[in-house]
Amino acid sequence: MRSKIAVAISLLITILLIGVLGFKFIQGLSWVDAIYMTVITISTVGYREVELPNEQTKIFIVLLLLFSVVIVGYAVSVITEYLISRSSLKDMREKRKQKHIDAMENHIIVCGYGRNGRQAVEKLRDYHREFIIIEKNQEVIDDCGLDSNMFLRGNANEDEVLIKAGIERASTLITALPDDADNLFTVLSARQLNKSLKIISRASEETSYKKLKLAGADNVILPDKIGGEHMASLIVSPDLIEFWDNLSYGGDEGVNLEQVSFEQMFDDNGDCSIIDLNLRQKTGCTIIGYKSADGNYTVNPDPKMMLTAGSKIIVVGNTQQILNLQKVYRINNEVT
């Protein structure tokens, strides 16, 4: 298509130059009059001639008209085809993207691609989790360096946009919009559309914490508060915080955390103790936490503690040990 447009423009410029030069040197018109006569001849508007043409000029005008009608017609058809195809291509891409979103199940919706949204997306990509980003600023989408298919342009406050993002089939929603009011409206809308959805919201002000929890957010994160506490902790207990910072979800030598549910470990509902699980020997990972079915946490659980349906264990290990764990228990979260 680009080559066709280039040819059409080249032909238009050529016929204009031939017309101007012809009127200039065959009939002896000035440059301005030659341009004027060329334009009204090619466009066939029928305005008055500057002066009556002689025999040679009449022949030139006839030839110019015949060639210009063909060239202008070709140029118009090429440009029209380009505009229509571009619009159709855009529609086709949008339909393909929506079809991909409609096929998603248990995916994650990230609202806003600011600083916090970007960090969340990087972590989700490390974990190879399926997600879609809702962002209303086209410049942000164009400049982020990610595939545009990862984005759904729109306002996360609107129910229609959330529905297009597959909110009814999603497992989690992360709303990281810069304004607390926008996060509040998004949480309200999302909770109404999906009662079982896990919602994690960002908040700038501590006063917004309770409001977001009442609106339906499962977790509310205050980035500024966490950042300040983190900096203070580097003074009080620097070695401990540096060790905690090394707990990452990536890298060949990094230390990783992973959670494993009872259902991933066992195919039946039979209880099993932590010591009988023999996780250290099987994978090299160490159990550092236990979450019961009713949501209570136990740090460094007793080896004799029983694992029951609905419970989870939290383990720590290096990259290879976590990979061994994922293979043994068929966990989809891969470490890279």
d(CA 273, CA 225): 39
Decide: 106 and 99 in contact? Cβ < 8 Å.
no
Q: What is the pLDDT of residue 25?
A: 87
Please tell me whether residue 225 adopts helix, strand or coil conformation: helix
Tell me if the domain spanning 238-329 has CATH number 3.30.70.1450: yes
Range among 15-19, 81-85, 266-270 with highest mean pLDDT value: 15-19
Q: What is the pLDDT of residue 73?
A: 85
Tens digit of each residue's pLDDT (9 = 90 or more) over 16-40:
999 889 888 888 888 988 888 888 8
Fold (topology level) of 104-227: Rossmann fold (3.40.50)
Question: Pairing relation of β-strands 172-175 and 286-291?
Answer: unpaired
Tens digit of each residue's pLDDT (9 = 90 or more) over 187-209:
999 999 999 999 999 998 888 99
Ranking 54-68, 108-122, 248-262, 268-282 by mean pLDDT, the lowest is: 248-262
Pairwise pLDDT comparison (80 vs 131), residue with the higher score = 131
Q: What is the pLDDT of residue 232?
A: 78
Query: Residue 92 above 80 pLDDT?
Result: no
Mean pLDDT, rounded, for 263-276: 78
pTM for the whole thing? Answer: 0.59
pLDDT tier, 255 (very low <50, low <70, confident <90, very high otherwise): low
Decide: 156 and 193 in contact? Cβ < 8 Å.
no
Tell me if the domain spanning 1-93 has CATH number 3.40.50.300: no
Q: What is the pLDDT of residue 335?
A: 39
Please tell me whether residue 250 adopts helix, strand or coil conformation: coil
Q: What is the pLDDT of residue 336?
A: 35
Q: Which residue has the tokens 């406050």?
A: 157
Q: Where are the domains of the chain?
A: 1-93, 104-227, 238-329
Q: What is the pLDDT of residue 86?
A: 67
- CB-count exposure of residue 55 (10 Å: 0-12, 13-18, 19+): exposed
Burial 271-301 (b: 16+ CB within 10 A, else e): eeebeebebeeebbbebebbbeeeeeeeeeb
Mean pLDDT, rounded, for 89-107: 84
